[in-house]
Amino acid sequence: MAVNRPPEPPTPSRSEKILPRHLERLAVVYVRQSTVQQVMDHRESTNLQYGLVNHAIALGWPEGRVLVIDEDQGKSGSSAEGREGFARLVAEVGLDHVGLILGVEMSRLARSSKDWHQLLEICALFSTLIADLDGIYDPSQYNDRLLLGLKGTMSEAELHILKQRLHQGKLGKARRGELTFALPVGYVRRPSGEVVFDPDEQAQQVVRLLFRKFEELGTLHALLRYLVAQGIQLGVRVREGEGKGELQWRKPNRMTLQNMLKNPIYAGVYAYGKRQVDPRRKHPGRPSTGRVVVEQGQWHAFIEESFPAYISIEHYERNLRRLAANRARAEEIGAVRHGPSLLQGLLVCGKCGHRMQVRYGGTKKLHTYTCSRMATDYAGSFCHYLPGACLDVFVGEWVVKALQPAALEISLEASEHLEKEREELDGLWQKRLERASYEADRAGRHYRLVEPENRLVARQLAREWENKLEAQRKLEEDYRRFLTEQPRALCAAERENIRRLAQDIPALWHSPTTTMAERKEIVRQIVERVSVENEGKTERLHVTIEWVGGSQTKGVVIRPVSKLEYLSYYPQLCERIRELVAEGLSTAEIARALHREGMRPPKHAERFSRQAVGELLQRLGLRPARPRGRRNFGEPAPAENEWWLSDLARVLQMPAGTLHGWIRRGWVESYQQRSSGRWIIQADEAEVERLRQLRSLPMGHHEHHRWLDYASRRMAVEGSMQENT
């Protein structure tokens, strides 16, 4: 019986380069094929490499001293990464175990000059010979080393030429729009190669609904929540395996929806080269890594009207701009969030032109709009640190005024939109019911076609039929529940309610059922951006509303300030108070007169109180201040570097209530007098100066927080020391 044996190379003559010390060590035969397909189909090349064992025996090595290393079958020689066999070969040479390395050609060992020359260095160091079908080489000799280096270079160049030829052929096919790729949800490829809509009507309707709802909702997460809430699934064609080509219904997920919105095929565009390899990010040994998304102008192919389109090119570009604007970056408007700031993402600094940030702080979590661009980039002062409530009220009032002329149109459009959406959802339910009915009928036909005697098959088909009928019944119950919650058509009461709410825009705007996210969506539909600039430290803010369409609205917003001196009319206020005092009016009468004349205190109060007028009179020298020291008979005066709370507040020019709040939080060193219960604050000149600087900082400033952290730590340390003593 004939036995298939590997082909034997021609018997070589004994080379003078082979010395006894080489024969004392191993002869290693390195076997490698680049791909699994080559291993399976190119059997002659594999057999030829294994036949080098006979070549080594003919050169003088005993059969037991010939080692075959074939762990790298199906691995590319372009890099040493991931090639355990090559690493083992290098290790054996480095341990001085190898006298000869055999390969059919040098490309079997390595196609990278770096790996090849590293192997040559090690072989020259340990006097290891290298042999192929052309001869035997000694890397320690100049001529042989030169020839081996040339062969390695040619091997690497050959790999580059092959890759380049394949790559250019692939690019040429892509530029003609002929390179095929896996199709996304909603498309199938016919046997002829033509790309068409998925023949399933429900699959098509879900794709169209997806794009329409994203344009309405505006965010990817809102779209995902809507699909999940309505129980809508995506029809996906199986790409491989036993059920290849079948339609499966899967739950939507964020990544799939994002890929669909960014895929230009839905606009009928053949695109190739959206993700290209960046060598700086490529991981050695992992060819699929290093891919980055590039700009559309750098794509290899962008051919319009190549496929049937679900949306237009303009719609596709709007989706990309909306997704980019939803990213949480300083230069983008960002997605709508549920915080109380109405102008989130819309407010722009009038000084530097950058988008302002929203910050929340305090016990009431009030929001403020800040711009720290000049401080962070140029070590300057803050551009703005503005309270948010007054700006939100101003813009909200103008938005309500802008919407009132379109009240009737809004009501009609809202009614039409709701009816259209319910009709579309009902259509999806009808298709789901039709599919469930078809699957139940098919299962019934399969059961009825089986022979009654074949009970083994009949029982299984009966169970499948029952499962399909149960799924159909459950779907019908869900549909009836859907009709109860959301009927297809609006009733007369719902239509009248929509008209009434649309005509009363202010009531709809201020309604507790209207969420802040909904108000923000309304603002973004008609407002492009809002610019704000202050008059120094005064209470006046100049606000410019830029509407969608190009028109502008300008106005002045009054904000609360921390000091009387910051009021724009402070000189007029002082002069008027002097006149009223000269007329002999009391503090209460002065407060009422200031209110009538439109003068307001610096903070949120609507009018000056008697106490505020009295403090202002003392500041102007129109009423003598109480001397610092004893207040009541028998009451001891504070010691040196100690202050009554009211006296220190007057020196710091801050409300006594604010200073008392600092005491409660432990931000100042103080104690309470036992006899009177009054607070005494310990502060030398340096401490008073530091408190004055703290008072001048805006709330939320980073220096303020740093000081408060220091004060809190200091009080905690002193408290622990007192407990220990």
Q: Are 515 and 538 in contact (CB under 8 A)?
A: no
DSSP output for 236-292: EE--SSTTTT-EEEE---HHHHHHHHH-GGGGT-EEE-SEEE-GGGPPTT-TT--EE
Strand partners, 545: 530, 553
Residue where the block lists tokens 């103080």: 670
Q: 3-class DSSP state for residue 384?
A: strand
Distance CA 557, CA 552 (A): 16
The closest alpha carbon to 501, from 396, 414, 392, 393, belongs to: 414
Describe the strand order of the beta sheet including 384-387 as a list of residue ranges: 357-361, 366-371, 384-387
Give the C-alpha separation, 71 to 102, whole Å. Answer: 15
Q: What six digits make up the tokens of 6? A: 């590997």
β-pair type (98-102, 129-132): parallel
User: Hey, which residues does 132 pair with through a beta bridge?
Assistant: 135
d(CA 560, CA 698): 12
Pairing of strands 195-197, 384-387: unpaired
Is 34 assigned a catalytic role?
Answer: yes
- Alpha-carbon dihedral angle through residues 560, 563, 564, 569, given to the nearest 10 degrees: -60
Helix (H/G/I), strand (E/B), else coil: 597: coil
Q: Please tell me which residue in 13, 34, 511, 670 is annotated as part of the active site.
A: 34
E strands within 342-500? 347-349, 357-361, 366-371, 384-387
For the chain, report the end-to-end CA distance as a whole number of angstroms.
Answer: 103
For 672, phi then psi, to 5°, come to -105, 130
Residues 6+ apart with CB under 8 A from 247: 198, 200, 203, 235, 236, 237
Cβ count near 594 (within 10 Å)? 21
Spatial separation of the C-alpha atoms in residues 103 and 68, rounded to whole Å? 11
- Surface-to-core class of residue 254, CB atoms within 10 Å of its CB (0-12 exposed, 13-18 middle, 19+ buried): exposed
**Residues constituting the chain:** 725
- Asked whether the beta carbons of 478 and 231 are under 8 A apart, the reply is yes
Amino acid at 314: E
Q: Confirm if 572 and 559 have CB atoms less than 8 A apart.
A: no
Q: Are 396 and 545 in contact (CB under 8 A)?
A: no
Tokens of 688: 């008073």
Sign of CA dihedral 217, 219, 224, 229: negative
Residue 511: how many other CB atoms lie within 10 Å: 12
Chain centroid, CA 406 distance in Å: 37
Distance CA 372, CA 571 (A): 31
What one-character DSSP code corresponds to residue 627? P
Among all residues, which ones are annotated catalytic? Answer: 34
